[in-house]
């Protein structure tokens, strides 16, 4: 992902956006449209969102996750996560939560401007039991 100033095709405002490295000019235009604060009457979720969502999955769960504190997930799990965003883009599902082994979960949701949001959390819980002697 790279950061770039784009122009909203609806209102002409300059919008600072994160854009996938391999995004086309048409995809960048759609990113600007969906990122802008202007009033939008109808928004469709399409291929560029799937592309952006898959890049986010790679950053949060793939080999790129090793840069952070989270362990990368298997290729099979990554394929499942890809399929979830594809189904969201088709409006087949509105969201999902996947529990991963090791106290983690990945949550998918659709935001107010129809953007696909992906959140990965990992919780660590420690507990101990103190027993009294009878």
Q: What is the pLDDT of residues 81-124, one digit of tens each?
A: 999 998 998 888 999 999 988 768 999 998 877 788 999 988 87
Phi and psi dihedrals of 14, rounded to 5? -85, 130
pLDDT of residue 44: 46
Per-residue pLDDT averaged across 68-77, rounded? 85
pLDDT of residue 46: 65
- pTM beyond cutoff 0.75: no
Per-residue pLDDT averaged across 29-45, rounded? 68
| Residue 91 and residue 45 in contact, taking contact as beta carbons nearer than 8 Å | yes
Residues in the chain: 134
Does the pLDDT value for residue 4 go beyond 50? yes
**Lowest-pLDDT range, 11-25, 30-44, 84-98, 110-124?**
30-44
Is 129 exposed, middle or buried, given 0-12, 13-18 or 19+ CB atoms closer than 10 A?
exposed
Per-residue pLDDT averaged across 11-19, rounded? 87
């Amino acid at each position: 992902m790279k950061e770039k100033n784009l122009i909203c095709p609806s209102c002409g405002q300059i919008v600072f956006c994160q854009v996938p490295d391999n995004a086309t000019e048409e995809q960048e235009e759609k990113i600007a449209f969906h990122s802008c604060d202007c009033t939008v009457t109808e928004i469709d979720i399409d291929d560029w969102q799937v592309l952006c969502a898959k890049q986010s999955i790679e950053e949060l769960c793939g080999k790129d996750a090793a840069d952070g504190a989270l362990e990368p997930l298997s290729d099979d799990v990554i394929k499942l996560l890809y399929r979830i965003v594809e189904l969201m883009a088709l409006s087949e599902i509105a969201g999902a939560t996947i529990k991963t082994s090791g106290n983690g979960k990945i949550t998918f949701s659709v935001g107010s401007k129809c953007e696909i949001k992906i959140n990965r959390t990992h919780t660590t819980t420690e507990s101990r039991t103190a027993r009294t002697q009878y």
